[in-house]
Amino acid sequence: MDTAFAPEELAFRDEVREFFNKEYDQALQDKLASSEPLVYKQAVIDWQKKLHAKGWIVPNWPEEHGGTGWDATRQFIYETERAASGVRDVVPFGLKMVGPVIYTFGSDEQKERFLPSILASDEWWCQGYSEPGSGSDLASLKTKAVRDGDDYIVTGAKIWTTYAQFADWIFCLVRTSTEGKKQEGISFLLIDMKSPGVKVNPIVSIDNHHSLNEVEFNEVRVPVANRIGEENKGWTYAKALLAHERTAIAEVADSKRNLKQVRDFAQREINGGHALLADPMFQKRLSDIEIDLMALEFTELRVLASVAAGGAPGAESSLLKIKGTEIQQAIQELRMEVAGYYQGVLPTELSADQLGHGFGVKARQAFMYGRAATIYGGSNEVQKNIIAKAVLGL
């Protein structure tokens, strides 16, 4: 694999950098850091609308549906520069998850109705997969949809539903039949969150933030026209979505930035003492993560190249998810060590702006929320089973 960039690719890299430097300004960043939910939501929408106006909102979508037409190299450059610049990624549920399902498996009417609003960030989506008591076993879902004329009547609950409190729509896996294997009899529905019978219950996570929710459905009427593809074939569409989700969860570009930040802070010498980076054991841990991250990056590039050539992420997405989330957690642990090392001398050497809020607080929040990284998107144990079946034939 040739990793040297051509002149036109370097020019594209410079264009991406210039755009981020200009458009991802301090005023926007302050709003994105706001503890006021509506201020935060509007800031996310404003940023995504800037990307949409630039034509960069969905780098991996086909051109005929609003994508950029970038090859794998340009997608890699874009993601690397986004992370290096500290630019937040888009909210994935509409743009990276249900959007590709709709343009791949949806009807022409569904594409016309939903894709433009997803691209323009005019409607906020959330994901209804996990259920109370089911863990990562999606096929065990109990939320049922009973056909009643031109509607389904949906009853049940979904949990760990990120940003459901903001959402206009939710895409859900529901049980429409109990016959055959449990993976059969599942359908994929698009449900308006304003429908009578939908209730959102907040869940405050260990990092003291409200991003997760439980969503209850009490005899909610959903038009049959909102079903993606065939009845009882939702498992097929769900697997396609999960492959894209798990590839994104790897977050290689973001891990590179976070690891560089750890190295930068760890090499500071405080009050004439030794930097944490001088500790041989810390050096080894940092180097081990750097090696693993480099290997993961090349694996991601191979997957991107395959997708760009017309393929689809398969078992490789599970591999990326496993290693990517393990690396994220290892980096978060190092960030906590570095934050603790420097916060003890913060008053005399470093401003609160520089470390206390900008590094230490974020390190703690990332560490606490990051404990779930190996669970959400399908636990890593489940991913190992997928690899065993798909690659090893077990």
Q: Which tokens is 330 given? A: 């290892």
Give the end-to-end CA distance of the chain in Å, rounded to a whole number.
Answer: 31
How many Å apart are CA 138 and CA 215, to the nearest integer? 16
133: nearest Cα among 144, 141, 124, 125: 141
Element (H, E) at 337: helix 315-343
Q: How far apart are CA 382 and CA 36, in angstroms?
A: 36
User: What three-state secondary structure class fits 312?
Assistant: coil
Angle at alpha carbon of residue 105, lines to 149 and 229, rounded to 5°: 20
Q: Residue 246 in contact with residue 383, Cβ under 8 Å?
A: yes
Output b/e per residue, 256-286; b: 16+ Cβ within 10 A: bbbbebbeebbebebeeeebbbeeeebeeeb
- What's the one-letter identity of residue 175? R
Which amino acid, 142?
A: K
**Residues 283, 286: Cα–Cα separation, whole Å:** 5
Element housing 92 (H / E): helix 92-92
- Catalytic residue check, 245: yes
Tokens of 177: 């039949």
**Candidates 131, 245, 251, 297; catalytic one:** 245
Cα separations in angstroms, 28 against 31, 57, 59, 230: 5, 17, 22, 42
The amino acid occupying position 256 is K
For residues 116 and 126, what is the distance between their CA atoms, to the nearest angstrom?
17
Task: For residue 134, give both structure tokens.
Answer: 């089911």
Positions marked active-site: 245
